[in-house]
Chain A
Amino acid sequence: MSPEPAGIVVVGASLAGLRGAEALRRGGYDGPLTLVGAEPHRPYDRPPLSKHVLAGALDAGATRLPELTALRARWRLGNTAVALDRAARTVRLADGAVLAYDKLLVATGAEARPWPAATGGGLTGIHTLRGRDDARALRAALVAGPRRVLVVGGGLIGCEATSCLRDLGLPVTLVDPHPTPLANALGTVVGGVIADRLRDAGAVFRPGTQVRAFEGDASGRVVRARLADGSAIEADLVIAALGATRATGWLRGAGLMADPGGLTCDGACRARDADGTPCPDIYAAGDAARWPIPLYGDRLVSVEHWGNAVAQASHAARNMLAGPGDQRPYAHLPAFWSSQFGINIKLVGLTAGADTVAVVQGSLAARRFLAVYGRGGRSIAAVSFDQARWLPAYAEAILTGSPVPPITDATDQPRIARADPGFPPPRRAAPAPSPAETAHA
């Protein structure tokens, strides 16, 4: 009997891994297929974790992703990939197993940045939120009735969590170094709307300052936070929403361009080796990938967007099955949504580098609006607060590089004024691309 072909190995069994595997089967791939996942769970969906699950409307276990295609795959769940040997074409797992591959899809996503141990990170009562188990633990802590919850970081997850906590009637303080929440993602002009909503909802917002350290009691439970401005906040439950780093540690030593900012790919989703040459047999998709985006001058980006994980995984799968002469470029207009404080927020495009924002429909005061971001006079992104129905028209305008505002003479259009969007100044300060500059920060 001839040895079985090694087949395709997918590392990371979440959204990108699952949708990638399905696309391989739909694309006619009939060989062996293995999915490796560090978590013990079948692929599940993360967006509900910071929304319905925290709110108690959905059990953490009820988030399993629908499996849309018969996968006929071998699942290696609860097993972490720890090393990649490109020469031997093998992946080593934590349990010692070694998997051979013909082609590899890296879909290991990202992980929540933990609070540093040196400043209180080990204390009981400090939570992060990335996975189902995190959400379950956090939900249990909320039900136990904390006296005050401190949310550190006003990014999307920090804001969504704050919104849920207020719906539950819990006292909550949100601390963020910027003047408003969502400053990195949307700028302070738009972020100001969330700041107002947050306060209306009864949350305490402490802008422009940072938590320096947490202090615990004798039993090792968190009791207070010390802030950079010298003040303290008494809190017995903390959600550290500090952004995410890419789960690429297992690729160290493999000779790829991989760091906490992502695994760098070419435009066709192929991983680049340390010399920058695309590997014909290694692809990446989802939060883990960093790729050149043609619409934004081939700038390297990585995002934490559900829609990208789905689209990029199918695209990578398509290219994995195609010949070297038929590698299609990944053209994708980034987009994400968030729901918080009863507002449905959607963004298309990338705001990085925006020098202008203009409200083009509705009004900030009504908290129902559509705003366009511009850079050098061209539209690069658009955000809607409860106005998502118009986004396709603005997406089209972004794809064609229309001026700002791209659409005049619309219904419900205010007198259009351009403003500085108020992004925090050094957006590219960190030496390596930091999570703060990814689009879902």
Chain B
Amino acid sequence: MPDDALFAAVTDPANRADPYPLYARLRERPVARQRDGSYVVSGHAAIRALIFDPRLSSEDLPPFRRPPTGNPIRDWILNPIRSRIASAHRPLIFRDPPDHDALRAAVMREFTIPRVQALRPRVVREVDALLDACRGRERICLVDDLSYPLPVSVICDLLGVPESDEPQFQTWATQLATALEPDARGDVETRRHTVAAFDAISDYMRGLIREKRRCPTGDMLSGLAAPGPGGRKQMSDFDLIATAILLLVAGHETTVNLITNAMLTLLRHPEELARLRADPERAPRLIEEVLRFEPPVHFRTRKALGAITLAGETIPKGAPIILLFAAGNRDPARFDAPDRFDPDRPDLEHFGFGGGLHYCVGAPLARIEAEIALVALSRRLVAPRLMHDPPPYRPGASLRGPEQLHIGIDGIA
């Protein structure tokens, strides 16, 4: 395969189960031009340099191989979510400084460690209830039975969505899940659903925000809707809606993948699963290593605002850049024996949560959810075994994770 077609191969669903040999080839040139003019950055050092480079933009991302229908209006209406996002509802993950920083600062003021810690009991309860519901079965699908529903209910709690509205939220979350996938394909019908879900959840949020302003309930949305330091509005209502939806979308499929990838990896390394069962304190290390070894987010895209010379290659102004975090995570120049799953490695500076100014704001929450889920799974699944290896994957190459993970069990403890 020619070097400039490697990334096209990465996006090919046929390579979803094991993209790592392709990453190894890409890393031979840490910054590699692809046939379509984009640049794939796969070396740890090069990614690190770029996430701190002021010439990288997350705004106005170039359209990603979107097949035109030939009718511009139709294209606009049916288009991947991206063009919608690009207009009124563009959330902070797709914005640059200084706007990005102001929005993010407001979110960080609310996303406090005590608030995240306070979600623990809720996560424990939720995980237990989901596992209780599997009693009497000989096999579970980890994705459907636990990974998928858990994050949405936690985010609802965080934001302050009333419990009675959660089922509705679960439906929207499912329809929006792929919104951050740069290569959002899907047929026209799917896209129509996604756009409809966006409109519906936006209307819902508008109402909820009005409600939280009138009668604040101590949750994150109430906090964001309240006046900020100096008595001024922290953000416009548009931005508030976009932020709330972002928290839902960014914290959903990512967390699903983390829990699922972690369990998949543990089932492939039964000795580690046994050690976790015996010692739940190992969970944080395991999770960090999963974030390096099988990260939920494999890459993110950017645009070069100016020419950037790096690792012997000059990325021209305007070129799309793919930060291939998952390849940097396995760079032998940075990690010893990078293809070995080793929770005890001393150096864990991975890009599982990205890095630089867009570093994941939800990282502490994601860690707590994964930790609680993994410990419960290790203790409560009796004699778990993997039914299919590799499992079937969802189409996304960036938000990469199993579509289903069937685990045979002798019961739920």
CA distance A413 to B98 in the complex (A): 9
Across-interface contacts of B306 in A (CB, < 8 A): 407-410
Interface residues of B in 344-362 (CB under 8 A from A): 356-357
Q: Mark A386-427, 1 if CB is under 8 A from B, else 0.
A: 000110110010000000000111111100000000000000
Q: Is the CB of A411 within 8 A of B54?
A: yes
Q: Does B4 contact A (CB under 8 A)?
A: no
Q: Does A312 contact B (CB under 8 A)?
A: no
Main secondary structure of the interface of B (DSSP, over half): loop
CA distance A408 to B53 in the complex (A): 11
Across-interface contacts of B96 in A (CB, < 8 A): 411-412
> Nearest CB to that of B99 among chain A residues?
A412
Interface residues of B in 32-66 (CB under 8 A from A): 49, 52-57
Q: Is the CB of B55 within 8 A of A392?
A: no
Q: Does B24 contact A (CB under 8 A)?
A: no
Across-interface contacts of B53 in A (CB, < 8 A): 390, 393
Q: Is the CB of A409 within 8 A of B98?
A: no
Q: What's the least CB distance linking B220 to chain A, in Å? A: 25
Q: Is the CB of A389 within 8 A of B98?
A: no
Q: Mark B330-346, 1 if CB is under 8 A from A, else 0.
A: 00000000000000000
Across-interface contacts of A407 in B (CB, < 8 A): 54-55, 306
CA distance A393 to B53 in the complex (A): 6
> Nearest CB to that of B56 among chain A residues?
A411
Most buried by B among A366, A370, A393: A393
CA distance A19 to B56 in the complex (A): 37
Q: Does B218 contact A (CB under 8 A)?
A: no
CA distance A80 to B8 in the complex (A): 68
Q: Does B208 contact A (CB under 8 A)?
A: no
Across-interface contacts of A413 in B (CB, < 8 A): 54
From B49, B54, B356, B357, A410 is in contact (CB under 8 Å) with B54
Q: Mark A325-368, 1 if CB is under 8 A from B, else 0.
A: 00000000000000000000000000000000000011000101
CA distance A410 to B55 in the complex (A): 4
CA distance A427 to B14 in the complex (A): 66
Interface residues of B in 45-95 (CB under 8 A from A): 49, 52-57
Q: Is the CB of A392 within 8 A of B52?
A: yes
CA distance A392 to B98 in the complex (A): 19
Q: Does B317 contact A (CB under 8 A)?
A: yes
Across-interface contacts of A409 in B (CB, < 8 A): 55, 305-307, 317
Beyond A389-B52, A393-B52, is A412–B356 a contact (Cβ under 8 Å)?
no
Q: Does B97 contact A (CB under 8 A)?
A: yes
Q: Is the CB of A410 within 8 A of B98?
A: no
Q: What's the least CB distance linking A394 to chain B, in Å? A: 8
Beyond A389-B356, A389-B357, A410-B306, is A366–B54 a contact (Cβ under 8 Å)?
no
Across-interface contacts of B305 in A (CB, < 8 A): 409-411
Q: Is the CB of A390 within 8 A of B98?
A: no
Q: Is the CB of A361 within 8 A of B52?
A: no
Across-interface contacts of B55 in A (CB, < 8 A): 393, 407, 409-411
CA distance A380 to B104 in the complex (A): 32
Q: Mark A366-385, 1 if CB is under 8 A from B, else 0.
A: 10101000000000000000
CA distance A396 to B317 in the complex (A): 19
From A368, A390, A408, A411, B52 is in contact (CB under 8 Å) with A390
Q: What's the least CB distance linking B215 to chain A, in Å? A: 33
Q: What's the least CB distance linking A71 to chain B, in Å? A: 23
CA distance A410 to B98 in the complex (A): 11
Beyond A390-B54, A393-B52, A409-B317, is A362–B98 a contact (Cβ under 8 Å)?
yes
Q: Is the CB of B98 within 8 A of A393?
A: no
Q: What's the least CB distance linking A313 to chain B, in Å? A: 24
> Nearest CB to that of A361 among chain B residues?
B54
Q: What's the least CB distance linking A306 to chain B, in Å? A: 21
Nearest 10 pairs between A and B by C-beta? A409-B306, A410-B54, A411-B96, A412-B97, A409-B305, A390-B54, A393-B53, A392-B52, A412-B98, A411-B97
- Name 16 A/B residue pairs within 8 A (Cβ), A-sorted: A361-B97, A389-B52, A389-B357, A390-B52, A390-B53, A392-B52, A396-B49, A407-B55, A409-B306, A409-B307, A410-B55, A410-B305, A410-B306, A411-B56, A412-B54, A412-B96
Interface on B for A, CB 8 Å cutoff? 49, 52-57, 96-98, 305-307, 317, 356-357
Interface on A for B, CB 8 Å cutoff? 361-362, 366, 368, 370, 389-390, 392-393, 396, 407-413
Q: A410-B305, A411-B96 are in contact. List 18 more A-B contacts (CB 8 A).
A: A362-B97, A362-B98, A389-B357, A392-B52, A393-B49, A393-B52, A407-B55, A407-B306, A408-B306, A409-B55, A409-B317, A410-B54, A411-B55, A411-B97, A411-B305, A412-B54, A412-B98, A413-B54
